[in-house]
């Protein structure tokens, strides 16, 4: 059962307006896409893809950034049960280092879309950068500024992406508690910075990031063996 919405979110619901336009034009499989993790120093870049049904509405879905962690977690299973199709794809921190963020985002998106196992007729993506057109064709893309707040399928994808990645980082916290991954999820904060200065990067860190290069680590920023032998990717 989803957690009751806080008052601030009760009147900010995304709609199916964009999906209805495309369904009316004969587009059957319309997928909302969103990402999380671009600005993190550690962990994967995560993309979620969500195909929502025409005839059923799930209430309380909002842009993931407008929800707190408890609200997002309470919506995760209802969203996965409600979606006609959904999937998540990742680019690892090593791939972000090796290929750069733009390519890594396209790589994670390709993995997510392939996992849907359907023919995609159109994609709705948040923002004004097309990271999907090379995969399914530029004519099949609609970019929506603040799409995660306006478009229901993108909002659903934003929650799936955020919850999935947060769970990964909380699991990594067990192996690297000094870095605060349970709370910061690999993003910059004072505890994360202090751990980097004192201990250097973990195997989860994107060592090509500018902050990594500018931080006086006690050791060279090279990858070390993950004691948890993580297999999440």
Phi/psi for 214 (5° steps) reads -90, -10
For strands 30-36 and 122-126, give the pairing: parallel
Q: What is the pLDDT of residues 13-29, one digit of tens each?
A: 999 999 999 999 999 99
Q: What is the pLDDT of residues 136-163, one digit of tens each?
A: 999 999 999 999 999 999 999 999 999 9
Q: What is the pLDDT of residues 52-91, one digit of tens each?
A: 999 998 989 999 999 999 999 999 999 999 999 999 999 9
- Domain 7-171: assigned CATH number: 3.30.420.10
Give residue 229's pLDDT band: very low, low, confident or very high (50, 70, 90).
Answer: very low
Give domain limits for the chain. Answer: 7-171, 176-214
**Long-range contacts of the stretch 7-12 (C-beta < 8 A, 24+):** 8/66, 9/62, 9/66, 9/67, 9/71, 12/62, 12/63, 12/66, 12/149
């Amino acid at each position: 059962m989803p957690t009751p919405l806080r008052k601030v979110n009760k009147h900010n619901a995304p709609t199916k307006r964009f999906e209805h336009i495309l369904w009316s034009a004969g587009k059957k499989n319309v997928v909302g896409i969103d990402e999380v993790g671009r600005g993190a120093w550690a962990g994967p870049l995560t993309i979620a893809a969500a195909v929502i049904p025409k005839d059923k509405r799930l209430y309380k879905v909002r842009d993931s950034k407008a929800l707190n962690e408890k609200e997002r977690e309470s919506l995760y299973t209802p969203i996965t049960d409600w979606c006609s199709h959904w999937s998540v794809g990742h680019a690892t921190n090593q791939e972000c280092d090796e290929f750069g963020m733009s390519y890594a985002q396209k790589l994670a998106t390709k993995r997510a879309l392939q996992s849907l196992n359907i023919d995609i007729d159109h994609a709705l993506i948040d923002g004004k950068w097309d990271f999907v057109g090379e995969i399914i064709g530029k004519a099949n893309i609609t970019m929506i500024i603040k799409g995660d707040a306006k478009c229901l399928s993108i909002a659903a994808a934003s929650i799936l992406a955020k919850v999935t990645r947060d769970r990964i980082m909380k699991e990594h916290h067990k192996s690297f508690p000094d870095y605060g991954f349970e709370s910061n999820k690999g993003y910059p904060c004072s505890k994360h910075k202090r751990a980097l200065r004192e201990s250097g990067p973990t195997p989860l860190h994107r060592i090509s990031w500018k902050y990594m290069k500018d931080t006086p680590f006690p050791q060279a920023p090279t990858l070390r063996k993950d004691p948890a032998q993580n297999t999440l990717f």
